[in-house]
Amino acid sequence: MDKSLVLAETSGRSQARYNCLETIREYALEKLEEAGETQHLRDVHLDVFLARAEEAAPKLNETYQQVWLNWLEGEHDNLRAALAWALDSGRIEAGLRIATALVRFWEIRGYIREGLTWFERFLARADERIPLPVHANALTFASFMAMFLSDALAATTFGQKAVDLAESVDDDHDPILILALSGLSSSARIKGDFQTAFTIGERGIDLLRDSPGPAYFLGMALLAQGSVAIELGYFDYARTTLNESLAIAREAGDAFRIAHALNSLGDLARCELNYEAARIAYEESVRLLREVNALHDLASVLQNLGHTYLHLGNIERAHALFRESMETHLAFQNGTGKAECLVGFAAIAIVQGLPGAGVRLLGASATVGGQRVAAASVWHATRMEYEQTLSAAQKSLSEAEFQAEQAAGSGMTLEQAVNFAMNLPLQPATAPATGAASAGLTTREREVARLIGQGRSNGEIAIELVLSKRTVETHVSNILSKLALTSRSQVMRWAIDHGLSQTLA
């Protein structure tokens, strides 16, 4: 194969996949175009991958979902090419059907934003020629994708359009309407209108119980309803509903759905202060999400498990979980996830005797891009952790100190806050016995130490002090030497302990 015009790709595959060299591929495409066969070939390619995507879709709810997820991952570029051709050639129905078939794959493997973009592009060109079931279901799944991204406006818009279209069938038990109601309920939930979500969810569940359709949809509706019940404080109802959803998922062997039911049961246990029960539920959820490589969702469960371990007194384990969660949120560029994860780091800072750092992180987590995040989360357990951490911090600081640190946190960018959190020392470093003034630092070195204490990077410090990055690196080296410290996190702790990290007026 070394001298062949064909390349064999075997990495991560049980069977080899053969590709042409790019120059050969381009030449072949030119010849196809000259022969007038390009459109026919692309149509055949689209038809093949439409059939394969729809074949795979129901398998994603069963025991061997991992096999099909991996197959879809391997064929993702082919599926993208099929979607692109469907759009370019005006085959909107085929594109919507592929997108609908890929929803679970996109959700589990973290391609949610890409999936929503495909839906938006196809739905913008959908008209009365699209069969009602295809159109309404696509609108519903677009609503779900928007809900996963916390886009309340888009979720509501798509959800309402789906219901309006489905109700034109004039059959309350039509499966299209039942699914559309689930989308509308989810959009109400993401807006924080839990009572509306609960009412719509009840109607949907009643219809599903009378429906001969797959148990999968009832299980998903029960899962969503259980989560809404937690937000409304209906804990007994939530337990019954979530356990029924879990039983349906276990019977199907759907690891992803089992993991989500367990995560919600963990949230319920945490809200009831039953941290050992929460730990057991979250641990199994984490294991299953790792198995199906659902990293986007894993990040949130790791965060939940971190809070649980902190309540159980295992600070080191909690810290490791928050770090892994944050690293995963960073990989997926999940701004809301990063902001909510800061609450965990804030709680650890306060437990470690750094209430000022904790309040600063809470201030940073509360508002991101002008939007309230952790303090106004749609999740009861997240709000509870935020409020408990805030209360603990207020007991450790004077009002003036509290306001100063909160203002400093609110002034941070999300990137600065994440850097500050990730560099906080787990164990308190031994602080010099002498005061800051007698530590031997020059005025400029004290300025650099102050900015390190605020979680600034060397590049940000260079801009702030109008210095070169190399000069800042020299100052950092001198600070470490003079303070007999070995890491940046120790400098941060030293600056915090000596009051240097506060933002200057």
Q: Are residues 423 and 452 in the same domain?
A: no
Spatial separation of the C-alpha atoms in residues 185 and 222, rounded to whole Å: 12
Distances (CA, A) of 155 to 77, 96, 143, 149, 257: 27, 17, 4, 9, 21
- Report yes or no on 391 lying in a domain: yes
| pLDDT per position as a tens digit, 171-201 | 555 778 888 888 888 888 888 899 999 999 9
- pTM, rounded to two decimals: 0.74
Q: Are residues 375 and 338 in the same domain?
A: yes
- What average pLDDT does range 454-467 have in this prediction? 85
AA letter at 327: E
The answer to whether the beta carbons of residues 344 and 372 sit under 8 Å apart is: no
Q: Are residues 334 and 402 in the same domain?
A: yes
- Report yes or no on 235 lying in a domain: no
Q: Are residues 457 and 386 in the same domain?
A: no
Bigger pLDDT: 7 vs 412: 412
The last residue of a domain, from among 384, 403, 428: 428
Q: Are residues 330 and 350 in the same domain?
A: yes
Q: Cβ contacts of residue 232 below 8 Å, gap of 6+? A: 194, 195, 198
- Quote the pLDDT of residue 75: 94
Q: Are residues 394 and 457 in the same domain?
A: no
Rounded to an integer, what is the distance from CA 247 to the centroid of its chain?
25
Strands 6-9 and 17-20, sheet pairing: antiparallel
- Quote the pLDDT of residue 492: 84
Q: Are residues 305 and 419 in the same domain?
A: yes
Q: Are residues 335 and 456 in the same domain?
A: no
- What average pLDDT does range 138-157 have in this prediction? 90
- Report yes or no on 152 lying in a domain: no
| Beta-carbon count within 10 A of 250 CB | 14
| pLDDT per position as a tens digit, 317-370 | 999 999 999 999 999 988 889 999 999 999 999 988 888 999 999 998 876 544
- Report yes or no on 104 lying in a domain: no
DSSP state of 433: S
- Report yes or no on 79 lying in a domain: no
127 — alpha (psi -120 to 50), left (phi > 0) or beta?
A: beta
Dihedral over Cα of 205, 282, 280, 359: its sign: negative
For 156-170, the three-class secondary structure string (H helix, E strand, C coil) is HHHHHHHHHHHHCCC
3 state DSSP class of 20? strand
- Quote the pLDDT of residue 335: 86
Q: Are residues 488 and 406 in the same domain?
A: no
- Quote the pLDDT of residue 429: 42
- Quote the pLDDT of residue 154: 92
Tokens representing 379 are: 């999740």
- Report yes or no on 289 lying in a domain: no
Q: Cβ contacts of residue 37 below 8 Å, gap of 6+? A: none
The last residue of a domain, from among 402, 428, 454: 428
- Report yes or no on 188 lying in a domain: no
User: Residue 427 above 80 pLDDT?
Assistant: no
Q: Are residues 307 and 406 in the same domain?
A: yes
Q: Are residues 327 and 361 in the same domain?
A: yes
Domain count, the chain: 3
| pLDDT per position as a tens digit, 30-76 | 776 777 777 889 999 999 999 999 999 999 988 889 999 999 999 99
Nearest residue to 104 via CA among 66, 159, 130, 134: 66
Rounded to an integer, what is the distance from CA 19 to the centroid of its chain?
34
The answer to whether the beta carbons of residues 159 and 142 sit under 8 Å apart is: no
The answer to whether the beta carbons of residues 302 and 280 sit under 8 Å apart is: no
Nearest residue to 175 via CA among 184, 166, 165: 166
Domain CATH code at residue 357:
1.25.40
- Quote the pLDDT of residue 173: 52
Angle at 251 between CA 209 and CA 172, to 5 degrees: 15
- Quote the pLDDT of residue 435: 45
Domain hosting 458: range is 438-505
β-sheet bridge partners, residue 367: 372
Q: Are residues 322 and 395 in the same domain?
A: yes
Domain CATH code at residue 480:
1.10.10.10
- Report yes or no on 462 lying in a domain: yes
The answer to whether the beta carbons of residues 340 and 365 sit under 8 Å apart is: yes
The last residue of a domain, from among 407, 428, 449: 428
| pLDDT per position as a tens digit, 263-281 | 999 999 999 999 999 999 9
